Structure 1
């Protein structure tokens, strides 16, 4: 979806679809995540799909994934859009004059150029989703072994007075976050070295 936003950002910035998508990118950033979780719960927390249980999608792994996606997607979309700003539009114009459709030009010209931004966008959004607590616990719940994530696990252990377990899980979260940041930095240096970018 972030790549889809990048397409509309470059080729159809004046359309209603782009304007709605642009608004929806900013909306989750400004919205308190407890409210986001409640909105997801009200929207999907009832039996409305054949594959859903009595509580709809709520308190399932899919609910956890949707909550994480809702709060992390804007980060990916904005990262890709920021990099798309730096693309030489003459390259796209050449592709268009050679007969490429906008979608074809986007896939053949733009996406390869955005490779580094795409990688960074999805690593950052993954890191952001790992840290999400409020939306996940509101919509996905905190069921051990089912919908409990690292952030809610730490919260549960503190509530239960098992500080040692909470500290251990927190240390793992810190190490994982540092690893993701390190991967981004190393990848960025590798990209700069191999493309001649400063």
Structure 2
């Protein structure tokens, strides 16, 4: 992938999604006449901070990361790729992601199997690690339907908006942890292999 485009997307995608959801929810607070609505000046200041601090720091980090070079792996890789058998239907990435979130402890063993047996394990490890976010979202919807009595449409939209943000951030955090744990395990396993 183009490094500049990757750096740009890293600096913009998550803040854009979070800002768009907060702005949309703020419109409902304003329409309801709530004192909890964020003033326009504060939203403008957030945008200035985003473009003035967060985006430049991402660009600087990308520059230094590019100068540092690629991460070296502890084993030589064969230049001729091996044939990979077709994946069974129940091991498709999204199905595995949903199932792995049920028992995060059990997901570690399933994830290790995926890591050791497939190419492009990086995304599978990330998706499998982030599978718990789907269950957080499902529980939030269940809790809303069974226990909460929200009086207005604005309250429902606010609850669902913040629930979606919580699930998104949970997905990113646990997915990152899943990837880093898998990457650490792979490096440990392959550093113990002798190439003679």
TM-score by structure 1 length? 0.31
TM-score by structure 2 length? 0.31
The structure with more radius of gyration: 2
